[in-house]
Structure 1
């Protein structure tokens, strides 16, 4: 709430017992001070100091505008992401992990503390707009100097001095300094909230990706264990053929050497799995749960198709971009505070109370005292301090704008990368499926020819290597597809929605970031 005091309302602050002449003098003084404000404010020298950085808009990034069927399509994009986007995977275990992480992660608790601190600063700035009232009570036992400027009877005597006073002050915000300070503090509070949402989104994304990584490693270990079993069966077959005189010791040694290699791969995957569990345990703040976790098979996790193009409106909803925009708003308001410091400060002060020498006279009517009056303070010469402060605030705003531009560019790149990977992974999965079927058929033929004595063991090993490579690739692509879906959700803001700051430059249309085809 903004406080203003007109000259006509000022005499109401004078107690009824004030002499009429004093009241007239007070009113005249206040009127002169208020009439002098425009003249005094004209002395403020802020020439040549301003912020020069400009916020980027979608058009400057070369983004094409998407056709819209209605005026509201840019406000409510069809590709909006749910705030609990991870539930789209249809995995209750993953839902529980992310919920647990969001409740107990220390990083989010730190973000909550930063929000509380920013809100406290905003409350402090808000309080500066209101009158301040203070009370004081002093009691001093004092001996007065016999050689000092005290009258007879008091000089050399020991007296008690008591003072009880209720004082108030109100700085009138004629030039908007307190309003700008409050707006800056509110901007920082909004930026802190957006930072907390960005941390929340990042944490949920990392938990989901860690979960899928663990599922990938378990699937890869299953492939390696099937490989070990398959090679054990081949060793038994070679041993029988050697005993029958159909193979030599060369084929036997080659078959035996394949087993340690398969066991080494299994052990390496177990190590990676242990590291993945440790990382996941740190994210959810519960290492014990991560050690006993058994994720679903990759094929059982639901996958949703990603959009081919994303409206840039959603990029503006990313919490990291929103936080950068709010910091631009806060920096802009800080410049307003710095400008207001060039102008006079006008305040009203008043006090009422009791004062006496001697406690026995403290509550007598004659011990009453009061005072009221305006105060006007204007910087005359400060050796360039105010201009330097304004230049610093202008530089801070330039830095905030460029930080916003960098965040916007990174958001565009991130979204474009995720969409490009999404379409590419889909094509890779289709090609790999065909390659996997061909490799499996070739391996079956090579093994049957070897068993019939029409092929060599090296041909079997070569065909088997192709099968194993395709199995591993299939697992990796399945995990990458899920990981990419998490990346798309993160790139689209993860369901974050907040009111943009007043200085945010809204796009004229809903541009799109399209996947590379």
Structure 2
């Protein structure tokens, strides 16, 4: 239901203009008085009792002297607050990340989404202010039949202008217009302010999404780089092992030619050599694919990447603290995104509730109009002013508005559950990363001990074989065991580096 509380159209003569101004001031003051009636509840961050106050540490499996445990207890400098260039000190890797931050396609898409969000926020702010439009030149001429209502007076008017009246049609209205038009909706119940708050939350989501993309990009570039270092190290080991197997094959051939061994020994030794040789193109293929993946992250077509660093030269400092789980709300972009979604949903509840109450719209226009073009620019006789005020109250669509409000309430509850779920997942990510680093460090120490044993076993097997105290099977077994332990140690080292990157990412680092 719509009620027009005031409608004035007058010429711009002193008395008429004063009446328009008086009514306009009264209407605006009335609107300003009632704009303080904002409905809806301001956002307050929920408290989740089910979210732990600290990261999970299993006392029966993780010792307090492990690296991860020390990080969890050290609160002096939070790892998430360390800029990524300070955390990743490899100059080549930082150069690659810098390139990715400029040229990566997904990150540039996120920047454009931020711009879209900013524009939508500015538009929501503009809804609070009056709109102003101009009609610099207007012409209107309406034709009606002789049977049209009030024909006589119109025919008389047309005769007065000394124009012939058509037999079947006559000009009912002829008007030339120049005008400025303005309208303003009074934000009585806070609907527009809630819309602005929702738009602000959506814009902040785009900022956090950009941070999330940057964090993930830094982590993926780093992981791909460490995979290249791993493949490079494994390729060197495979080439050394192939040369070793080839040397063993030459010795077995000499023994076969001298009648000291059988053809079976020579064939098995040759098979072992070919097996070690086939590993080289496999690793080279994986290296090329990983190199192309890194180029894709850098936003460019495949090309060689010169890497001079060795995997064993890369290490991370463990002198930083992890903080507490609630730090993840402000540090992790994905957790912040879920909270901004909750803020936006809360604002939409306010919008839905405000829609159930009356809305007040005030519109005004002023300009010049005349039935004759030559008199249009006469401000005294052709000037006009129009003021409208409309109060709109929904009645028969109340069920629809009530449904929208209840749906908005349910969507807010879903958003709150999503926020809680994301926070729990984030805490789990950090706990998993801490446990992974701990166990990988233990595994790495065992792998190093195994390397010592297999290398010594390889030397012993070679000496015994040359002395005739060991057969070719023992040599092949020793070489295979040594190769496996070398590749395994490199693999664990790579996993430790990636686990440190994952801990940094899971704590919300990488976007500062």
Spell out the pairing of 1:264-279 with structure 2 (5 A cutoff).
264-279=278-293
Which of the residues 153, 156, 161 maps onto 1:152? 156
Point out where structure 2 has 5 or more consecutive residues left out of the alignment. Answer: 1-11, 57-72, 160-164
**Is 259-268 or 414-423 further displaced after alignment?**
259-268
Following superposition, the deviation at residue 181 of structure 1 comes to 0.6
User: Alignment partner of 1:168: what SS?
Assistant: strand
- Superposition deviation, residue 396 in structure 1: 2.2
In the other structure, the counterpart of 1:227 is 241
Do residues 358 (structure 1) and 372 (structure 2) align? yes
| Alignment-derived partner of residue 422 in structure 1 | 437
Give the Cα–Cα distance (whole angstroms) in 2 for the partners of residues 65 and 454 of structure 1.
56
Q: CA deviation at 1:81?
A: 3.0
Query: Are 2:459 and 1:455 equivalent residues in the alignment?
Result: no
Structure 1 unaligned segments of length 5 or more: list them. 1-13, 67-73, 498-517
CA distance in 2, matches of 1:25, 1:96: 67
Map of 2:422 onto structure 1: 407
- Structural mapping, 1:458-473, within 5 Å: 458-473=473-488
Partner of 2:97: 98
Equivalent residues, number: 466
Deviations 1:39-97 (A, max 9, x none): xx99x9x9xxx99x99463x42233499xxxxxxx9x9622335641553332211111
- 1:81 equivalent in structure 2: 80
**SS at structure 2 position matched to 1:287:** coil
Q: Alignment partner of 1:236: what SS?
A: helix
Partner of 1:212: 226
- Shift in alpha-carbon separation, 1:16–1:341, aligned structure 2, 3 A: farther
Matches within 5 A, 1:152-171: 152-154=156-158, 156=165, 160-171=174-185
Q: How does 1:232-311 map to 2 (within 5 A)?
A: 232-289=246-303, 291-294=304-307, 296-305=309-318, 309-311=322-324
Label 1:332 to 1:295 Cα distance change in 2 as closer, same or farther (>3 A): farther
* Alpha-carbon displacement from aligned partner over 1:449-488 (angstroms, at most 9, x marks no partner): 1211112221222222221111011110111111111101
- Determine the C-alpha separation between the residues in 1 that align with 2:377 and 2:295: 70
TM-superposition CA deviations, 1:12-40 (whole Å, max 9, x none): xx9953387888777888888999999xx
Please give the secondary structure, in 1, of the residue aligned with 2:391: strand
Are 2:138 and 1:134 equivalent residues in the alignment? no
- Tell me the residue number matched to 2:50: 60
Residues in 1 aligned to 2:370 and 2:404: alpha-carbon distance in whole angstroms: 46
**TM-score between the two structures when normalised by the length of structure 2:** 0.83
Aligned-pair CA distance for 1:232? 0.7
Q: Deviations over 1:487-509 (max 9, x none)?
A: 01111112447xxxxxxxxxxxx
Question: What is the deviation of 1:409?
Answer: 1.7
**Aligned position for 2:70:** none
CA RMSD of aligned residues (A): 3.2
Deviation at 1:363, TM superposition (A): 2.2
**Secondary structure at the counterpart of residue 469 of structure 2:** coil
